Amino acid sequence: MKGKTHIIGGLAISGLLLYCNKTYHWDLPITSFDYITASVLGSLLPDIDHKKSFLGSIVHLPIKHRTLTHSLLFLFITSIIVLQFNLSIALGLFIGISSHLILDMLPLRSKGICLFYPSKKRYSFFRIPR
């Protein structure tokens, strides 16, 4: 999936949460700029394992594509580490990475992602056998 699609997905889900936070008075202590910026970054972050991705072309992690960085392990560890410093950024990263994982599991021809890495089993929503 393309970076632009991931950004749109991250913005849509983070915007929905921001809307609900204000409309339903959830009172989550999130500042809009930090939260939205982190959700955009989070929506791109898992593809640092792919050289041709936007972030991967800047900082490349030389591991197999759609394994560690596309797992719940990566999602929670990244969010928990950042949570020690800033709730808005941690929540934005969590939403952005989550949206990335969901979108990468959607395409009909997707090979899926290693959601429960280090297990190598790949998961996708609608897998069509080849």
| Nearest-approach distance from CB 44 to Zn ion, in angstroms | 9
Which candidate, 100, 101, 99, 95, places its Cα nearest to that of 30?
95
Residues 5-64 that bind Zn ion (CB under 5 A): 46-47
DSSP state of 113: B
CA distance readout (Å), 110 to 83, 85, 91, 99, 118: 32, 35, 27, 16, 19
Residue number, 40 or 47, with CB nearest to Zn ion: 47
| Nearest-approach distance from CB 95 to Zn ion, in angstroms | 15
Which candidate, 104, 99, 98, places its Cα nearest to that of 124?
104
Residue number, 47 or 93, with CB nearest to Zn ion: 47
| Nearest-approach distance from CB 80 to Zn ion, in angstroms | 21
| Nearest-approach distance from CB 37 to Zn ion, in angstroms | 20
* Number of residues near Zn ion (by CB under 5 A): 3
104 near Zn ion, judged by CB under 5 A = yes
Which candidate, 89, 53, 85, places its Cα nearest to that of 69?
53
Contact residues: Zn ion, CB under 5 A: 46-47, 104
